[in-house]
């Protein structure tokens, strides 16, 4: 099986167990659960859960103990998109060709479904921690921090604050490290922590996540300018429209392309310092920065 087929198969496996971890659509709160599940089910490449599961395997994990954390991480990623799409934020009506949550269920439900997903992620992880103990607690702690007020939420805040204002590279890196890289770091680190990786290994993986995240985001900025709309499945030039500074506007396409290569190279170098191997995970991480869509 080649990489793409393998990835497809793994995505389907994730979609199958993800459903098991989502709330049943029942009771008087049925519509809340529907809105939450809709948000998760409208798509996504399940990248973060996939990375988490592969990091778990890489460090010797063999059972399904990482599944609740993979599901929780996808819920957290999803809630961040649901709240980002709100009228008070980016005000997007469509994502991946489908109505966004607030566009479909109303703005109040957009807020509540996002809250529900964030809280439910911790409900699922709390259950797992009660069952599994110390490694699970560590994994949850990692995810909480990376998603939190020094992580993803900080990135979102600063991004919003600076939209339409002149930015510099330091600021962009700050935003990209938090808004994009933080949950990739969380995926790598939490998966490894669940399998008992030590602090040194977690730090290596954090570095890998940062480099991959930076490269991924710069690639995203490049594709927003010179990508193929039909392959991307979304209109080009959204950054320009939203008056967002990007690496492309700051340093130009050529230098941006060079930086993607540079960060990818560093990511691989650090990844290979780990005393464990996972060729699929390595290829998956590289595919994020060489993608054309």
96-115: which residues touch a copy of itself (CB under 8 A)? 106-112, 114-115
* Identity of the residue, 54 or 206, whose beta carbon is nearer to a copy of itself in the bound complex: 206
Q: Is the CB of residue 33 less than 8 Å from the CB of residue 26?
A: yes
Of 223, 262, 263, whose CA–CA distance to 246 is shortest?
223
Q: How many residues does the chain have?
A: 293
Q: Strand pairing of 94-95 and 98-99?
A: antiparallel
Instruction: Kindly state the number of chain residues that form the binding site for a copy of itself, as judged by CB under 8 A.
Output: 54
For residue 51 the two structure tokens come to: 């990375």
DSSP bridge pairs for 99: 94
Interface characters, 157-176, with a copy of itself (x: CB under 8 A):
xx-xx---------x--x--
Q: Which is closer to a copy of itself, CB of 23 or CB of 49?
A: 23
Tell me the Ramachandran region of residue 63: left when phi exceeds 0, alpha when psi lies from -120 to 50, beta otherwise. beta
Is residue 213 at the binding interface for a copy of itself, with CB under 8 A as the rule?
Answer: no
How far apart (Å, rounded) are the C-alpha atoms in residues 159 and 245?
A: 10
Residue of 11, 156, 255, 291 interacting with a copy of itself (CB under 8 A): 156
Of 11 and 141, the one with the shorter C-beta distance to a copy of itself is 141
The stretch near a copy of itself (CB under 8 A) out of 50-58, 125-133, 237-245, 251-259 is: 125-133
Q: Which helix (H) or strand (E) is 260 found in, with range?
A: helix 247-271
Burial class (CB in 10 A: 0-12, 13-18, 19+), 123: middle
Q: Does 11 participate in binding a copy of itself (rule CB under 8 A)? A: no
Nearest distance, CB of residue 232 and a copy of itself, angstroms = 26
Distance from C-alpha of 125 to C-alpha of 118, rounded to nearest angstrom: 11
Q: Which is nearer to a copy of itself, 78 or 278 (CB)?
A: 78
Dump strand ranges (E) for the chain. 94-95, 98-99
Closest CB to a copy of itself among residues 84, 220 = 84
End-to-end CA distance of the chain: 22
Gap between the Cα atoms of 162 and 135, Å rounded: 38
Q: Which is nearer to a copy of itself, 159 or 201 (CB)?
A: 159
Restricting to residues 50-89, name those near a copy of itself by CB under 8 A: 79, 83, 86-89
Nearer to a copy of itself, 186 or 260 (CB): 186
Our finding on whether 134 is near a copy of itself (CB under 8 A) is: yes
Closest contact distance (angstroms) between CB of 12 and a copy of itself is: 26
CA gap 256, 262 in Å, rounded:
10
Contact between 98 and 42 (Cβ < 8 Å): yes
* Smallest distance, a copy of itself to C-beta of residue 62, A: 23
Q: Write out the residues near a copy of itself by the rule CB under 8 A.
A: 23, 27-29, 31-33, 36, 79, 83, 86-89, 106-112, 114-116, 118-120, 122-123, 126-127, 129-130, 133-134, 137-138, 140-141, 144-145, 147-150, 153-154, 156-158, 160-161, 171, 174
């Amino acid at each position: 099986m080649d990489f793409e087929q393998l990835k497809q198969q793994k995505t389907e496996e994730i979609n199958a167990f993800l459903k098991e971890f989502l709330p049943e659509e029942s009771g008087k709160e049925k519509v809340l659960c529907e809105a939450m599940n809709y948000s998760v089910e409208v798509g996504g490449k399940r990248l973060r859960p996939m990375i988490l599961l592969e990091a778990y395997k890489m460090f010797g994990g063999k059972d399904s103990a990482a599944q609740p954390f993979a599901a929780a991480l996808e819920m957290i990623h999803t809630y961040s998109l649901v709240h980002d799409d709100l009228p008070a934020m980016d005000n997007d009506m469509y994502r991946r060709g489908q109505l966004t949550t607030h566009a479909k269920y109303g703005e109040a439900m957009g807020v509540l479904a996002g809250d529900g997903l964030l809280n439910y992620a911790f409900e699922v992880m709390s259950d797992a921690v009660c069952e599994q103990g110390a490694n699970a607690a560590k994994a949850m702690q990692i995810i909480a921090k990376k998603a939190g007020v020094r992580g993803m939420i900080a990135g979102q805040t600063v991004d919003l604050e600076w939209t339409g204002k002149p930015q510099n590279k330091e600021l962009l890196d700050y935003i990209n490290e938090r808004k994009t890289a933080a949950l990739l770091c969380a995926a790598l680190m939490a998966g490894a922590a669940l399998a008992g990786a030590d602090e040194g290994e977690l730090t290596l993986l954090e570095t890998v996540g940062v480099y991959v995240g930076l490269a991924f985001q710069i690639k995203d900025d490049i594709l927003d300018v010179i990508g193929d709309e039909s392959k991307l499945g979304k209109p080009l030039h959204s950054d320009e429209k939203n008056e967002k500074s990007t690496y492309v506007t700051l340093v130009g396409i050529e230098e941006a392309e060079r930086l993607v290569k540079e960060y990818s190279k560093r990511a691989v170098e650090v990844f290979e310092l780990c005393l464990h191997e996972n060729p699929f995970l390595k290829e998956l991480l590289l595919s994020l920065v060489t993608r054309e869509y």
